[in-house]
Amino acid sequence: MWMLPVIDSDDFSAVSLTLLASAEGWQQQYKLIIDWGKAIPAKPTIRTPEHRIQGCELPLWLAHKQCNGVHYFALDADSNVIKGLASLVLAQVNGTSPVPHPAAALQQLGLEKHLTPSRNNGLKAIIARVEQLLAG
- In the residue annotation, 56 being an active-site residue is answered as yes
CB–CB of 59/78 below 8 Å? Answer: yes
Instruction: List, for the chain, all residue ranges whose pLDDT scores fall below the cut of 50.
Output: 1-2, 5-6
Q: Measure the CA dihedral 136/131/16/107, to 10°.
A: -160
Residues 77-88: tens digit of each pLDDT: 999 999 999 999
Beta-carbon contacts of residue 135 (< 8 Å; ≥ 6 apart): none
Spatial separation of the C-alpha atoms in residues 124 and 108, rounded to whole Å: 15
Task: Show the domains of the chain with their CATH numbers.
Answer: 17-135 (3.90.1010.10)
Per annotation, catalytic residue among 32, 40, 53, 56: 56
The enclosing H or E element of 91 equals helix 80-93
